[in-house]
Chain A
């Protein structure tokens, strides 16, 4: 048992209305350094919380992780069926529709999965957060891993579909395409910080997120290309998902994309959203706990 016994020492931590001030951490970019310190110190916890959720999510489930495949498969099957039945017409494309749609929905589900797993994470852990002092950001980061893992599982499904349809993705583009998902992931985590925080105070946010994700999917080029001069097409000029979905998909399928400028701009914005969301959550986490 080690016990501090030096005299005239500084407090280990000071709690005041301004938040927690830790010994030896002062100066410029204080909040950012504290955020980074918290992330590094809680990295084991993040993975342990993820492992907990993963193992308990599928522990009494017959299909287990297959659920990550079934939902996108069913969605694509419905759209493919509607397309072939002539309910709506999808313009001619150089790759099979199933590959296009499955890739689109897998990419979109990265955003969807992160947001849906993260938003109620603090509320679900309310007993823990109100009784134990630990970094609440770990809950959001660990929930965001769900989106990544589900995407990886769907990647296996995609490989199967490529083989089945005798299609091949662009070799170098596939690697670039996966890397190009990073801005979408950062954007998703940034938004998740806001939604998690708000959901702790207003429980409506969970429903808003579910409904909003469905709406965004319908308005974005996830399951069908959007072109021409329609209202939806004009909206998509400003829609970040237009770039976050099309660019990685184009890179994987064709090795290049025509939307790189918009993608670059939105990548910068996604970085800002991630930082601002994280910082906001970091500063407000104690206030959130008080109001759960």
Chain B
């Protein structure tokens, strides 16, 4: 397969302070005027590397996701690929006409109508008047803003703004499309429509680079994923592996900041870390360790989605009596993906082991934590309330709907039906 994008040892630096921007900007402008290109591989005072020695290749027709925390350099990378910024060192080769959705509607003028902005924005994106005329109806149809076409866009909602901007950009006939988290404001129906449109473009051979914080979008569309962290390429590979690496890293950062009522790592070095502890737990039960095992009793930190998991909690209790455990497996966004609430247990004073088994573990790829709450028997007064993590899950088989999580308490419902309107095309009758 042919190369679509080649990024070779690219670095980009920026200034942190305005006075440096003014000073270095003036010096650099003067230098470029004199035709003097200084070696830009070193930093001047007040500068930092937004991207540092990045290399990767994208094959034609591939979809690649860029992930990473805020300020990691993803958007800067996209702007370099689009030619908005130039690299300070290294080189970028683009093999095809580039279309970019870095911020949809960036070229809109609020005073102009939707119709006028289609022509204006199309022109800014490099479309000729004839091209815009040819695609005009498609753009309007796709955006769904036809009733407001002659209304100034300042009266548009943010969703309408995005609809129109997205619609213009994707009709600019790109061979390489750069997309930067632009669909966050659109409603679910339009978002799905856009994702479907992008998938269709992808099928036609358009190369994609997508920046998103939505891992489901990345996993659902891309075949390769690049993880940026502090301006460096921290991971490059299949989306499942790279997303997992990213989420583990996020989780580690979270764990570093939590230092209250921690597990006893000296005695239980293989325990998960406490990543969060809620103040409204009375801490009368100290969770000294949370350990994970597979179905063979082996300690593990990484599970396949179709195998079982055993969560062992070592509890040091100052109380005795009936308690209710809440034990859920949650992702790093604190979304409980599976688990169980109100598990009855009779607590004894002293140290005890309690084991919980989930078999199979039907989670999608990602990093998860154990949310372990020990309530009194009324379920309202927590003795302990901590999040312990993280462990990894890798989806074992193809996931038809990425991100869909099957709960462990899967119950087949009773199904009843009654006919409201009968199709009488075959001679039947309507009735209630």
Contact = CB atoms under 8 A, between A and B. Distances in A.
A87 to B, nearest CB: 42
Interface string B30-73: 00110001001000000000000000000011000000000000
Most buried by A among B88, B98, B107, B173: B107
Interface in B111-157: 111-112, 116, 119-120, 123-126, 128-129
Contacts of B126: 134
Contacts of B201: 1
B84 A133 contact: yes
B61 A3 contact: yes
A118 B101 CA distance: 27
B106 interface: yes
Given A11-B93, A283-B32, 9 more contacts: A1-B204, A12-B95, A13-B93, A13-B94, A132-B106, A134-B125, A283-B33, A286-B85, A289-B84
Contacts of A202: 22, 26
Give the 10 A-B residue pairs with the shortest CB-CB distance, closest first: A131-B106, A11-B93, A201-B25, A3-B205, A16-B91, A291-B25, A56-B111, A131-B103, A15-B92, A1-B204
Contacts of A131: 84, 102-103, 106-107
A3 B86 contact: no
21 contacts: A1-B206, A2-B173, A3-B96, A3-B204, A4-B2, A4-B175, A7-B2, A11-B6, A13-B98, A14-B91, A16-B87, A17-B40, A18-B37, A19-B86, A48-B123, A49-B120, A52-B112, A134-B125, A286-B86, A287-B29, A290-B86
Contact of A52 (B40, B94, B109): B109
A227 interface: no
Interface in A1-36: 1-7, 9, 11-20
A1 B205 CA distance: 9
For chain B, the bracket of interface size reads 35 or more
Contacts of A127: 103, 106
B28 interface: yes
Nearest to A15: B92
A161 to B, nearest CB: 33
Interface of B: 2, 6, 14-15, 21-22, 25-26, 28-29, 32-33, 37, 40, 60-61, 79-80, 82-98, 100, 102-103, 106-107, 109, 111-112, 116, 119-120, 123-126, 128-129, 173, 175, 201, 204-206
A282 to B, nearest CB: 10
Contacts of B98: 12-13, 133
A121 B40 CA distance: 29
Interface in A112-136: 127-134
A17 B175 contact: no
Interface of A: 1-7, 9, 11-20, 44-45, 48-49, 52, 55-56, 59-60, 127-134, 197-198, 200-202, 280, 283-284, 286-291
A20 B120 CA distance: 25
A55 B112 contact: yes
B152 to A, nearest CB: 9
Given A3-B205, A133-B84, A15 B91 contact: yes
A1 B112 CA distance: 30
A136 B88 CA distance: 20
Contacts of A286: 83-86
Contact of B120 (A17, A52, A129, A287): A52
A288 B91 CA distance: 19
A3 B206 contact: yes
